[in-house]
Amino acid sequence: MLTPDDSLPQQPRRVLVAGVSGSGKTTLARRLTAIIGSPHTEIDALFHGPEWTPRPEFLEDVRALVETPSWVTEWQYDSARPTLAAHADLLVWLDLPFFRTTLPRVIRRTIRRAVHREELWNGNLEAPLHTFFTDREHVVKWAITTRHKYTLEVPPLEAQHPDLVIVRLRSQREIERWLAGSFEASTH
């Protein structure tokens, strides 16, 4: 597993960004897209149909995505993770401090989306704020309960997919250093 200061062995063309809700996966994915020129597909948009129903074509869409020569997406959804990992050449793991960084981010994002009634994917809106108390899968609760998930799921990928380069970033400062350093250098 690489650190932010390690050189990448090649220019990545198929990139996954992993991390708990609120860690900045989609924001980083968009930044990577701008640097390497690979299109970003927001995996939540593939998964969620109208009224938050899972789209039946989700896995078919994931398979079509990974067959393209270059892409950037988030490493989410248990049903899609094996396919995504098998076709990626780089996985960036955002392992940020949960209570100091990620939890405040997911709370701010959730409040902003709910207050402004921001449309997310396929006509879906963030649930009203009071649902934090009534919905077991509210995004803030989801972030809290799944905060250790990637510590269990990412390390085994090294053995399962030896060609997959994994970079672990533990702070916003490391993200910025990696983007400006080894990631930028790999694209030239």
Strands 90-94 and 165-169: parallel
Q: Which pLDDT band, with edges at 50, 70 and 90, does 21 fall under?
A: very high
pLDDT recorded at residue 188:
67
Cα distances from 71 to residues 8, 36, 37, 89, in angstroms, run: 17, 9, 9, 10
Is 68 inside any structural domain?
yes
| Residue 42 belongs to domain with CATH number | 3.40.50.300
* Whether pLDDT at 51 is above 70: yes
Q: Which domain holds residue 81?
A: 14-99+148-186
**pLDDT at residue 120 above 90?**
no
Number of domains in the chain: 1
* In a domain? residue 45: yes
For 78-98, how does the pLDDT look when each residue is reduced to its tens digit (9 = 90+)?
A: 999 999 999 999 999 999 999
Beta bridge partners of 165: 90
Q: Quick check: is 178 in a domain?
A: yes
For the segment 154-163, what is each residue's pLDDT rounded down to a tens digit? 999 999 999 9
